[in-house]
A = this chain, B = another copy of it.
């Protein structure tokens, strides 16, 4: 028996969670998108006054807090995708292929100028 997909596993758990609480009524894509944004801002709060270097060296306590915010972002993202009937893994694999074509390694390699010009959007 194969292991189920992480993303589908989480999607299913979120469905059960919302249904048990009758929260589906609040989960319009518009609202979920706002909730997603608010969670990303909670990650950002940890980094807003840090240098780039400090942002890569979180203290253990902060790392635990950030892990929880990252989890919130993933959970709302999966829930939003589910309500829009979008397959997130498929979309991500397609986007990776598209990025590989858009940013050929031999052309964009290295300089920040090139990175800025060609950065993913």
Most chain B beta-carbon contacts within 10 A, residue among A84, A92, A99, A110: A92
**Contact between chains at A34 and B48 (CB < 8 Å):** yes
Q: A residues 92-111 with Cβ under 8 Å of B?
A: 92-96, 98-100, 103, 105, 108-110
Q: Can you list 16 contacts pairing A with B, beta carbon distance less than 8 Å?
A: A10-B92, A17-B99, A22-B110, A26-B115, A29-B55, A29-B56, A33-B44, A35-B120, A38-B41, A52-B52, A70-B77, A70-B81, A70-B91, A71-B91, A71-B92, A72-B121
**Contact between chains at B41 and A70 (CB < 8 Å):** no
Cα–Cα, bound, A2→B4 (Å): 9
Most chain B beta-carbon contacts within 10 A, residue among A35, A43, A71, A112: A71
